[in-house]
């Protein structure tokens, strides 16, 4: 049977994808389920010995000494320091076999230098992994899992009609970790609590603090009265005694049966409220110190009501702040873009606002958009 021309054309492309996908699938599998260290060390020693024997007894052009850099590199990924040292000693012995059998010039000093540098880099890699208390690729697996948990905590709970909400968090420079995070919970039959937090710093340091704080602050939702939430969060940060242990936060409590809300702010930009009756966005101004700076702080609350067609916009300063420009200019730009959502609808608006207002920003950005559909 002859295959159609379009199917025959697809076969080479499919073969290439399968060929290139095999190494990626292998690395993914090693990440999720790394082999025991003894097994990994045994396999790497065996491959090193086979490659050396083939180079010395068969062809140095096919298996040159520089090939021994590969076991060292994989050892840095899979082994702890002790096993990596054992592998390095064995590789050194194999290099000695090359030199004895073929001479120094035939083994190419440049290849030896590559193997030496690779061994040093791989050992440093193994050392840094061992300091985490997790051997092999488990260190990366833990970081991936922590990031995933932080992202899951930012997911807003499903809300009953007519309520809808979206949250968007973008790390600085497209990195994997952000200092901004969202925690939320349905803490009663019809009460929604949301807190948007901006932790000081960027990158992994801010990300690790975000993970710790998100668990603690998420646990406070529903455990404290709304008027006490930020005060309890502030006390928690004070106890941590971090060098850069401060954060800004905004806390929203919404009664979904009546539409009444209460907002508290700790050094956070003002919340924007869209009033469908007037067709305008307004700001809910609140003043209070950031979390973790001053002990025994009481935070004021602002109250209001979301009527059909109304919306609330919570955001971090990374969305509106640009060095050398007044913060109010960034807020005006945000509200200008938010005006466009009124005619197109708020669904999907969170991602639209972040991309339009702060594309290419060098700071973490977080946003929560909550609205009540018209009736």
DSSP 126-143: HHHHHHTT--TTHHHHHH
Instruction: Give me the residue spans of the domains in the chain.
Output: 1-27, 34-136, 147-372
**Domain 147-372 is found in CATH 3.60.40.10:** yes
Q: What percent of the chain has pLDDT over 70?
A: 76
Q: Residue 140: is its pLDDT beyond 90?
A: no
Q: What is the pLDDT of residue 9?
A: 46
Which token pair is 293? 């700076």
CA pair distance 46, 67, nearest whole angstrom: 14
Which token pair is 276? 């469908």
Between the alpha carbon of residue 111 and those of residues 56, 63, 116, 199, the distances in Å are 15, 12, 9, 47
Complete edge-to-edge strand list for the sheet that includes strand 163-170:
163-170, 365-372, 311-315, 271-275, 280-284
Greater model confidence, 55 or 292: 292
Q: Give the mean model confidence (pLDDT) for residues 230-251.
A: 87
Between the alpha carbon of residue 263 and those of residues 47, 85, 200, 286, 288, the distances in Å are 63, 58, 22, 9, 12
Q: What is the pLDDT of residue 162?
A: 93
The phi, psi pair for 305, rounded to 5°, reads: -135, 135
Strongest mean pLDDT among 96-110, 233-247, 257-271 = 257-271
Q: What is the pLDDT of residue 154?
A: 66
Q: Please count the other Cβ atoms lying within 10 Å of the Cβ belonging to residue 258.
A: 10
Q: DSSP letter string over 182-199?
A: EEEEE-SSSEEEEEEEEE
**Counts of helices then strands in the chain (DSSP H, E):** 10, 10
Q: DSSP letter string over 301-318?
A: EEEEE--TT-EEEEE-GG
Q: Residue 258: is its pLDDT beyond 90?
A: yes
Residues in a beta bridge with 249: 197, 266
Q: What is the pLDDT of residue 118?
A: 85
- What single DSSP character describes residue 65? G
Q: What is the pLDDT of residue 78?
A: 79
Instruction: Give pTM, 2 decimals.
Output: 0.68
pLDDT band at 36 (very low <50, low <70, confident <90, very high): confident
Q: Residue 329: is its pLDDT beyond 90?
A: no
Q: Residue 38: is its pLDDT beyond 60?
A: yes
CA pair distance 239, 77, nearest whole angstrom: 37
Q: What is the pLDDT of residue 174?
A: 63
Mean pLDDT of the chain, nearest integer: 80
Q: What is the pLDDT of residue 68?
A: 84
Greater model confidence, 33 or 326: 326
Q: What is the pLDDT of residue 6?
A: 46
Residue 46: its H or E element = helix 37-57
Q: What percent of the chain has pLDDT over 90?
A: 25
CA pair distance 257, 242, nearest whole angstrom: 40
Structure confidence by residue, pLDDT tens digits, 162-203: 999 999 888 876 666 677 889 999 987 889 999 999 888 766
């Amino acid at each position: 049977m002859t295959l159609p021309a379009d199917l025959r054309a697809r076969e080479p492309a499919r073969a290439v994808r399968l060929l290139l996908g095999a190494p990626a699938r292998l690395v993914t599998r090693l990440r999720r389920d790394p082999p025991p260290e003894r097994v990994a060390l045994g396999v790497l020693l065996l491959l090193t010995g086979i490659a050396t024997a083939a180079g010395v007894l068969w062809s140095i052009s096919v298996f040159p000494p520089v090939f021994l850099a590969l076991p060292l590199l994989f050892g840095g990924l899979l082994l702890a320091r002790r096993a990596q040292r054992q592998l390095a000693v064995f590789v050194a012995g194999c290099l000695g076999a090359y030199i004895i059998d073929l001479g120094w010039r035939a083994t190419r000093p440049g290849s030896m230098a590559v193997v030496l540098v690779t061994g040093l880099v791989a050992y440093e890699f193994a050392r840094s992994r061992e300091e985490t208390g997790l051997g092999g690729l488990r260190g990366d697996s833990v970081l991936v899992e922590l990031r995933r948990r932080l992202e899951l905590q930012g997911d807003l709970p499903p809300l009953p009609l007519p309520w809808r909400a979206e949250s968007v968090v973008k790390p600085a420079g497209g990195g994997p970790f952000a200092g901004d995070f969202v925690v939320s919970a349905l803490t009663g039959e019809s009460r929604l609590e949301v807190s948007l937090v901006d932790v000081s710093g960027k990158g992994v340091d801010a990300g690790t603090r975000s993970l710790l704080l998100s668990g603690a602050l998420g646990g406070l939702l529903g455990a404290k009265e709304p008027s006490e939430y930020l005060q309890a969060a502030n006390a928690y940060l004070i106890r941590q005694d971090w060098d850069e242990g401060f954060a800004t936060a905004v806390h929203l409590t919404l009664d979904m049966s009546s539409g009444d809300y209460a907002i508290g702010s700790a050094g956070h930009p003002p919340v924007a409220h869209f009033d469908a009756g007037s067709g305008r966005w307004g700001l809910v101004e609140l003043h209070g110190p950031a979390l973790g700076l001053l002990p025994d702080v009481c935070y004021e609350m602002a109250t209001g009501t979301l009527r059909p067609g109304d919306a609330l916009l919570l955001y971090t300063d990374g969305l509106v702040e640009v060095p050398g420009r007044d913060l109010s200019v960034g807020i005006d730009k945000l509200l200008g873009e938010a005006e466009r959502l009124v005619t197109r609808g708020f669904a999907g608006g969170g991602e639209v606002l972040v991309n339009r207002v702060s594309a290419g920003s060098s700071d973490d950005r977080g946003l929560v958009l909550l609205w009540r559909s018209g009736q």
